[in-house]
Homo-oligomer: A and B are copies of this chain.
């Protein structure tokens, strides 16, 4: 992690889609001047499970995974975050240690906003406070969905759904591939299964024409069938 070129919040392209959309110009100015811009190389860890961060990151470019380590040290990916997303706020707001680690799936530029600034905004700007609450409550609903899926769906169903989630989260590159590079193991850590099971099932999906696979480049060819296989209703 090293200091990056400073980016001004007032002129940030992502502002309207970030959690800071509810701040007025003087507040934005304050965030902008209290923050630090940092750079993480692919694979670097932004935040460590169990630690106590002193602020949050607002992602500017890049993609990250948020994961917990299970009993055998196996990582379980809880969700992804990308540019415009705030990460690390859960621990800060609940006053607990970090419940998950965050690492960069690709080179990432992020802005570190100190705890004091975040809390000041929450206390003085009801709009921002409500937006944050809305965000956490939405996440809580998503977590409930994931819990039900992990408990009740087969690996095959979950893989189909995960492919759809990845597509929804990161979209497609110019060639139509899912716009993120994940190892088979990472996909397995999202699905909650063994790497080999992901490989076999992906291969089945390929044979059935649902996806095209060229190494880590995966194309979602048949959304409807994946929805059907994954029993995705929402």
Copies held by the complex: 2
Q: Which residues of B contact A94 (CB under 8 A)?
A: 134, 137-138, 140-141
Which residues of the other chain, B, contact A133 by a CB distance below 8 angstroms? 93, 122, 129, 132-133, 136
Say whether A231 contacts B76, CB under 8 Å.
no
- A4-B82 Cα distance, complex, nearest whole Å: 49
A137-B147 Cα distance, complex, nearest whole Å: 17
8 A–B contacts, CB within 8 A, in A order = A90-B140, A94-B141, A95-B134, A96-B137, A96-B138, A99-B140, A126-B129, A132-B133
Bound complex: CA A132 to CA B146 (Å): 23
- In the complex, whether A17 has a CB less than 8 A from a CB of chain B is no
Q: Tell me if A's interface is mostly helix, strand, loop or mixed.
A: helix
Q: How far is the CB of A96 from chain B (nearest CB, A)?
A: 6
Q: Which residues of B contact A129 (CB under 8 A)?
A: 122, 126, 129, 133
Evaluate contact between B136 and A76: CB separation under 8 angstroms.
Answer: no
A40 to B223, CA, bound (A): 43
A90's contact among B91, B122, B132, B137, by CB below 8 Å, is which? B137
Known: A99-B145, A136-B140. A76 touches B152 (CB 8 A): yes
Q: How far is the CB of A171 from chain B (nearest CB, A)?
A: 23
Cα separation A130 to B119 with both chains bound (whole Å): 10
